Amino acid sequence: MSKIIKCTILDLSTLLRVTYTGITVNQIRSAHNVRPPRIKYPLWHLQRERAKDDQQLTEDNRAFVKEAVHDKFGMPAVIHGISTYEVRSPLKEDSVERKNVEWHPKLKRTGLIARKLGNYPMWSDNGKSMLATLFQVIDNHVIKYIPPGEFDPPRKPYSCPKHKKELGCLLVGAESADPQYYTKQYCGLFYREGMMPKKILGRFLISPEAALQPGTPLLASHFRPGDFIDIRGKTIDRGFQGVMKRHGFHGLPATHGVTKSHRRGGNIGHGGEKGRVFPGTKMPGHMGNRYRIHKGAEILRINHKYNVIWVKGVASPGETNSIVYLHDTILPLRKHKITPPFPTSKEVEDDQLIDSYKEHMYKFTDPTITFEEEK
Structure confidence by residue, pLDDT tens digits, 346-375: 877 666 678 999 999 999 888 876 667 776
Closest CA to 297 of 317, 311, 308, 318: 311
Q: Which residues of 109-131 are buried (b: 16+ CB within 10 A; e: fewer)?
A: bbbbbbbbbeeeebeeeeeeeee
How many C-beta atoms surround the C-beta of residue 307 within 10 A? 25
108-153+165-238+286-357 has CATH 3.40.50.1450 classification? no
- Taking the CA of residue 18 as centre, how many other CA atoms within 13 Å lie in the half-sphere pointing to its CB? 12
Contact 326, 140 (CB under 8 A): no
- Mean residue pLDDT across the chain: 82
Whether the per-residue pLDDT at 45 is higher than 80: the answer is no
How many C-beta atoms surround the C-beta of residue 204 within 10 A? 20
- At residue 184, the 3 state secondary structure works out as helix
Closest CA to 195 of 84, 297, 46, 275: 84
Confidence of residue 255 (pLDDT cuts 50, 70, 90): very high
CA–CA separation, 16 vs 3, rounded Å?
A: 6
Q: What pairs with residue 294 in β-bridges?
A: 231
Contact 158, 102 (CB under 8 A): no
Residues 62-72, mean pLDDT to the nearest whole number: 81
Task: Check residues 153 and 201 and name the one with the higher pLDDT.
Answer: 201
Whether the per-residue pLDDT at 176 is higher than 60: the answer is yes
Confidence of residue 272 (pLDDT cuts 50, 70, 90): confident
* Cβ-based burial of 23 (10 A; exposed 0-12, middle 13-18, buried ≥19): exposed
pLDDT-wise least confident of 157-171, 214-228, 232-246, 277-291:
157-171
pLDDT-wise least confident of 56-60, 257-261, 306-310, 351-355:
351-355
Going from the C-alpha of 334 to that of each of 181, 296, 338, the distances in angstroms are: 43, 7, 12
How high is the pLDDT of residue 352? Answer: 66
pLDDT in tens, 81-138: 777 777 654 444 433 345 678 889 889 999 999 999 999 999 998 889 999 999 999 9
Closest CA to 116 of 340, 239, 297: 297
Q: Where are the domains of the chain?
A: 108-153+165-238+286-357
